[in-house]
Amino acid sequence: MKAMILAGAALTMLATTLPASASVQAAAPATARAAPSPQTPTTAAAFVPMAGASDLYEIQSSQLALEKSRNEDVRRYAQMMITHHRQTTEQVTAAAREAGLTPRPPVLNPEQRANVAALRRLSGAGFDRTYLTQQVRAHEQALALHSTYADRGDQPALRRAAAGARPIVQQHLDEVRTLSRQR
């Protein structure tokens, strides 16, 4: 019993000493492969809509960045997001069709909708900070999604598309982290 109390106290102390933005996943190397979970499915039926939503969020949030940001680095990054995520959407859609699926148009999930709504309310430096913070999180999630499906997915064509997206998403994540540190 005493050992359990001490272990619980140690965990509580550790949790309260970490910054609110810290996570176990953020401390792991970017190349680490996530285990399957509801956020990192291995079935095509779950992967395709999640990949589409991820791309749609990147496109919509980045269109807002082009409208609202006055920072040239943020605007350049946003334009790259729009271009690259339109391409990955096309690639995943083509792979889904090759796998015999009929993908529906992507729809944002509740978190993504809330993030876009938050961005709509902001301007100036506050917009830029929030946009970059959201981009880090979104790309961490997208990297886990594509990595898990590329490694363990149930449809070969979609595994290839996910594997092709992985280095693109990693590049985006590396660049947005650099931008975030500069702010």
CATH class (in words) of the domain with range 46-182: mainly alpha
pLDDT value of position 37: 66
Confidence of residue 36 (pLDDT cuts 50, 70, 90): low
Q: For all residues of the chain together, what is the average pLDDT? A: 84
75-107 pLDDT tens trace: 999 999 999 999 999 999 999 999 999 999 999
Provide the 8-state DSSP code for 20: T
β-partners of residue 37 are 40
pLDDT value of position 39: 81
β-partners of residue 153 are none
Interatomic CA distance for residues 66 and 11, integer angstroms: 43
CA 175 to chain centre: 13
Whether the predicted pLDDT of 124 surpasses 80: yes
133-158 pLDDT tens trace: 999 999 999 999 999 999 999 999 99
Confidence of residue 177 (pLDDT cuts 50, 70, 90): very high
Q: Are 37 and 147 in contact (CB under 8 A)?
A: no
Q: Where are the domains of the chain?
A: 46-182
Q: Are 131 and 74 in contact (CB under 8 A)?
A: yes
Interatomic CA distance for residues 63 and 58, integer angstroms: 8
Total residue length of the chain: 183
Interatomic CA distance for residues 40 and 143, integer angstroms: 9
Whether the predicted pLDDT of 2 surpasses 70: no
Q: Are 44 and 97 in contact (CB under 8 A)?
A: no
Which tokens hold the place of 13? 């102390």
Give the CA radius of gyration of the chain.
Answer: 18
